[in-house]
Structure 1
């Protein structure tokens, strides 16, 4: 959809609109993995990331690795979200008042539950290394940590995932 020609719409706005139209689904998928399947938090993260991306659009356009730039914005948004004071007082309940319909791209519920048990940095390391198949250096750059930290976080995360997934009774979901 062309926005240029409408009052107040710039070429930058058009570029951003096209980016969002092409990439929002992939961003949402990544955010769902980073939040261990929490669809609502994933939506919030994508909105926050897109807002920050719009503000820094010129820096994004100059980035040598645009995909890495976007992943970093998502991880930073998750980190910021986890630090919010009101989150400490939020109370989780086992049953939601209403459930959304099934998502065609929904991940394995056992895996999502196991991922949910990992700290955010470990979860991000696993998602970037094994879902997006980034190497250690790319993951380190995306997370803003050293390669050694990526390796140790990934190793610890895989150990925790193995424990959780092996201790889950078969057939119980």
Structure 2
């Protein structure tokens, strides 16, 4: 048995979920692959310790967020994005919402984007999100509140998504 078999099993089992998190953080499939790969390279060296005494998925998710925030501190050229389809044309409203939401998410601060991704796409609790971000639950609550307010300002056309009563409760 190879010393990396457990790590391979973990990656195979959790790769799609981790890739989804990376994609939602970066907004770009290629950057998401780079992000996940760079984090997995760092984690493989610590795998024996992680496997024995911790939650490898939570640790990996936290490493993704930290690496993403670190990358965002460095200047990167803006990536081109598709414009929403012409309103005269037939279109899938959900697809249009996803495009507008993705464009608005890119304009959030890295920490605001991370808290939105972890809370709403990864469906983590406030405590789990705080653990992943290495901050207090109160910080998560305030970041969610500010991030949702910023999303409402950036994309008022998404009000039907952002006015969900459950979101309103979380944002308080």
Q: TM-score, with normalisation over the residues of structure 1?
A: 0.75
- The answer as to 2:7 corresponding to 1:16 is yes
Q: Which has the higher helix share?
A: 2
Matches within 5 A, 1:43-58: 43-58=33-48
Structure 2 residue runs without a partner (length 5+)? 83-94, 159-172
2:121 maps to 1:131: yes
Match of 1:92 in 2: 78
Aligned with residue 80 of structure 1, among 66, 70, 77: 70
Aligned length: 145
Cα-Cα RMSD: 2.2
Using the TM superposition, give the Cα deviation of residue 93 of structure 1 relative to its aligned residue in structure 2, in angstroms: 5.7
* Residue number in structure 1 paired with 2:163: none
Matches within 5 A, 1:1-173: 4=1, 10=2, 12-35=3-26, 37-84=27-74, 88=75, 90-92=76-78, 94=80, 108-167=98-157
Q: Any runs of at least 4 consecutive aligned residues in structure 1 with deviations exceeding 6 A, and if so which?
A: none
Consecutive unaligned residues in structure 1, runs of 5 or more:
5-9, 97-105, 169-173
Aligned partners of 1:63 and 1:69 also within 8 Å: no
Q: Secondary structure at the match of 2:17?
A: helix
Deviation of the 1:39 alpha carbon: 1.4
Question: How big is the shift at 1:151?
Answer: 0.8
Partners of 1:39 and 1:14 in 2: CA distance: 27
- Shift, 1:62, TM fit: 2.9
Deviations 1:96-130 (A, max 9, x none): 9xxxxxxxxx9911111111111111111111111
**Whole-angstrom CA distance in 2 between matches of 1:133 and 1:81:** 24
